[in-house]
């Protein structure tokens, strides 16, 4: 790709994909969000619209800016609508097969041979996704954090094949266009943040699982005793317990360290559909305003 990134595509309009699309649109970029079908695309639009409205209500964004951002957003159920993009960010479910399928398809669809294909994966090796394309030098990890419009960090993760110019272009884009702070990580499962965070969350789960302390007391201990803004089990609920399990399993498969293995309680909760805030119940329960109780 030559020139500035002005046309962005996002594959996946869930919590993360919608957040990524929102920050791109707010930064003045024409952004196309691709979902699996028309119903999912409509929900993605509703998700972004609601987030922009919350920002207005909280005084973080003025209404004309929110309305302008919406005019720069398009929602589709067809990957072909991403053909003219300069940058496409994949944000589908944390599953290797699903992500690989997306990258193989994008490689054929995105017309500019210099366009950059990025993944928002939390733990899947970037190399594996890059090798599904014929342009592995233009593939890298661009890992945002939830909620994307609020948290300033982005991890930039090149694989062994990623060209230096690709890394520079994406770091410049994230920093200068989106206003994010970037850190760079090697292509190892978990990258910097989750390699440190997930063992901490799993330790908290094991503590609650064993009856050593209640979920409320574990969280209160870290919030009030260590000045953490959110306790580990509330944070796991926010991330999504299914996502925590997926990252933990990827970490365990790569490093074979017991501290990365998801505890039985966590796996059972995911099997039961108790995924945290997005389902209304995890280690805590949540009302419509998503407050833990």
Check which CATH number belongs to the domain holding 79 and give it. Answer: 3.40.50.720
CATH number of the domain enclosing 207: 1.10.1040.10
Q: In whole angstroms, give the CA distance from residue 128 to residue 144.
A: 19
Structural domain contains residue 68: yes
Q: Are residues 11 and 143 in the same domain?
A: yes
Query: Containing domain of residue 111, as a range?
Result: 7-184
User: Mind listing the pLDDT tens digit for each residue in 233-276?
Assistant: 999 999 999 999 999 999 999 999 999 999 999 999 999 999 99
Q: Are residues 93 and 233 in the same domain?
A: no
Residue 281 bridge partners (DSSP): 276, 285
User: Mind listing the pLDDT tens digit for each residue in 81-105?
Assistant: 999 999 999 999 988 999 999 999 9
Catalytic option among 22, 35, 86, 143: 143
Q: Identify whether the C-beta of residue 31 lies closer than 8 Å to the C-beta of residue 73.
A: yes
Structural domain contains residue 225: yes
User: How many distinct structural domains can be found in the chain?
Assistant: 2
Q: Are residues 124 and 215 in the same domain?
A: no
Catalytic option among 51, 120, 185, 194: 194
Catalytic: 194?
yes
Catalytic option among 138, 155, 171, 185: 155
What pLDDT score does 37 carry? Answer: 96
Q: Are residues 166 and 89 in the same domain?
A: yes
Structural domain contains residue 64: yes
Q: In whole angstroms, give the CA distance from residue 126 to residue 240.
A: 22
Residues lower than pLDDT 50 in the chain: 2, 290
Q: Are residues 244 and 164 in the same domain?
A: no
What pLDDT score does 122 carry? Answer: 85
Q: Identify whether the C-beta of residue 40 lies closer than 8 Å to the C-beta of residue 17.
A: no
Structural domain contains residue 292: no
Q: Are residues 150 and 213 in the same domain?
A: no
Q: Are residues 199 and 238 in the same domain?
A: yes
Q: Are residues 88 and 27 in the same domain?
A: yes
Structural domain contains residue 97: yes
Catalytic option among 22, 35, 120, 122: 122
Catalytic: 210?
no
Q: Are residues 251 and 154 in the same domain?
A: no
The overall average pLDDT reported for the chain is 95
Number of Cβ atoms within 10 Å of the Cβ of 117: 28
Burial of 188 (0-12, 13-18, 19+ CB in 10 A): middle
Structural domain contains residue 246: yes
Per the listing, tokens 């479910």 go with: 93
Q: Are residues 94 and 215 in the same domain?
A: no
Hey, is 184 helix, strand or coil?
A: strand
Q: In whole angstroms, give the CA distance from residue 167 to residue 159.
A: 10
Q: Are residues 164 and 240 in the same domain?
A: no
Q: Which helix (H) or strand (E) segment is 7 a member of?
A: strand 7-11
What pLDDT score does 4 carry? Answer: 86
Q: Are residues 27 and 172 in the same domain?
A: yes
Q: Which of 151, 184, 217 is the last residue of a domain?
A: 184
Q: Which of 120, 149, 184 is the last residue of a domain?
A: 184
Q: Show the tokens assigned to 13.
A: 């309009």
Structural domain contains residue 134: yes
Q: Which of 135, 150, 184 is the last residue of a domain?
A: 184
Structural domain contains residue 115: yes
What pLDDT score does 291 carry? Answer: 52
């Amino acid at each position: 790709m030559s020139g500035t990134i002005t046309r962005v595509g996002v594959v996946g309009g869930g919590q993360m994909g919608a957040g990524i699309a929102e920050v791109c649109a707010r930064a003045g970029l024409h952004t196309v969000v691709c979902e699996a079908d028309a119903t999912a695309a409509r929900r993605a639009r509703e998700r972004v619209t609601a987030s922009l409205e919350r920002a207005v209500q909280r005084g973080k964004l003025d209404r004309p800016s929110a309305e302008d951002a919406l005019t720069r957003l398009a929602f589709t159920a067809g990957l072909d609508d991403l053909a003219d993009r300069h940058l496409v960010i994949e944000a589908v479910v944390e599953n290797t097969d699903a992500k690989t399928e997306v990258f193989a398809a994008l490689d054929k669809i995105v017309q500019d041979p210099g366009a950059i294909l990025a993944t928002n994966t939390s733990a899947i090796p970037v190399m594996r996704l890059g090798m599904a394309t014929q342009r592995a030098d233009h593939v890298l990890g661009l890992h945002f954090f939830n909620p994307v419009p609020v948290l300033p960090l982005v991890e930039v993760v090149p694989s062994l094949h990623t060209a230096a110019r690709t890394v520079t272009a994406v770091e410049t884009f994230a920093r200068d266009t989106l206003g994010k702070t970037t850190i760079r990580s090697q292509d190892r499962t978990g990258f910097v943040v989750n390699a440190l965070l997930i063992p901490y969350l799993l330790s908290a789960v094991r503590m609650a699982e064993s009856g050593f302390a209640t979920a409320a007391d574990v969280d209160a201990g870290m919030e009030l005793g260590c000045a953490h803004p959110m306790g580990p089990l509330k944070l796991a609920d926010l991330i999504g317990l299914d996502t925590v399990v997926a990252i933990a399993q990827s970490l365990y498969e790569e490093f074979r360290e017991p501290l990365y293995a998801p505890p039985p309680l966590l796996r059972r909760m995911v099997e039961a559909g108790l995924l945290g805030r997005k389902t209304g119940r995890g280690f805590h329960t949540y009302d419509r305003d998503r407050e833990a109780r």
